[in-house]
Amino acid sequence: MTQMILLVCPMIFLASFIDSIAGGGGLISLPVYMMTGLPIHTAFGCNKFSASMGSIISAVRYQKSGKIKWKPATVSAVFSLCGASIGAQINLRLDPLFLKKLVLVILPIAAVVVLFGNHHRQNMRLLEGRRLYLGCGMAGLLIGLYDGVIGPGTGTFMILAYTSFIGYDYVTASGNAKVANLASNLASLIVYLLHGNVLFLLAVPAGICGILGGWIGSSLAISKGTKFIKVIVVLVLIGVFGKLIWDVVSAAGVV
């Protein structure tokens, strides 16, 4: 257990630090939990535990900035909670080896979107009335479903949905995304907790490190440092993905 903690905690700190500055922390945290050799569903459960702790800090930070539109955000959060609950149930029913392979397919796609997507685009006028709430509800449901099944990249996908299809500016989209992402994280976490898929001896210290990383990262005004941060993300991803690919190949009996 000590070795697990020494491996996971610094990486969760790094993931949370990166996430608070440039986004994409989940692309690091989930593979790191998987690298420990934990059962795959327990790795997901521990990741949701630490992610939920970080999401609370992020949501509070945006709430204080006054950049959250609470009615649309609440609609997204409610549907995101429902979608994530369903997604987490689906996750628990998937074969562990198949789930590892699915992660190896989905995470590189999420990484491309997080690292190279144009988050600041705004292609349409803001939706109004029922169309606004319908759009927020659909975004919450579908992206929450993804968050429950896989997870990493959820915040970025939510921001893209808000800016590209609903019409919010980037800052408002980020604030609302934090609320919806918090709801999906908590919903998934509850499912994993009910099924005994959270290893508290590892998840609690990792979650504390995640809070510290997010707190320090969010307090630093590093707008010019995002490119450097993304280079770090790429380098870390190469290492952890290489290890996970080796694990999957070994489990399949190829080597």
* Mean pLDDT of all residues belonging to the chain: 83
Cα–Cα distance for residue pair 59/71, rounded to 1 Å: 15
Q: How much is the pTM?
A: 0.83
Q: What is the percentage of the chain residues whose pLDDT exceeds 70?
A: 80
pLDDT at 209: 92
The structure tokens listed for 131 are 């169309």
Segment 174-200 shows an average pLDDT of 93
Cα–Cα distance for residue pair 167/121, rounded to 1 Å: 10
pLDDT at 142: 96
- Residue 186 CB contacts under 8 Å (≥ 6 apart), including other chains: 52, 55, 81
- DSSP letter string, 32-98: HHHHTT--HHHHHHHHHHHHHHHHHHHHHHHHHHT---HHHHHHHHHHHHHHHHHHHHHHHHS-HHH
Cα four-point dihedral sign 45, 46, 49, 54 = negative
Which of 12-26, 144-158, 164-178 has the highest average model confidence (pLDDT)?
A: 144-158
What does the DSSP 8-state code read for residue 197? -
Q: How far is CA 226 from CA 21, 177, 233, in A?
A: 7, 20, 10
Cα–Cα distance for residue pair 236/57, rounded to 1 Å: 24
Cα–Cα distance for residue pair 136/131, rounded to 1 Å: 8
Which of 27-36, 49-58, 137-146 has the highest average model confidence (pLDDT)?
A: 137-146
More reliable by pLDDT, 68 or 23: 68
Contact 175, 67 (CB under 8 A): yes
Give the HSE-up count for residue 8: Cα atoms under 13 Å, Cβ half-sphere: 30
Give the HSE-up count for residue 252: Cα atoms under 13 Å, Cβ half-sphere: 11
Q: What is the percentage of the chain residues whose pLDDT exceeds 90?
A: 38
In this prediction, residue 143 has a pLDDT band, given cuts at 50, 70 and 90, of very high
More reliable by pLDDT, 244 or 139: 139
Which of 24-28, 148-152, 174-178 has the highest average model confidence (pLDDT)?
A: 148-152
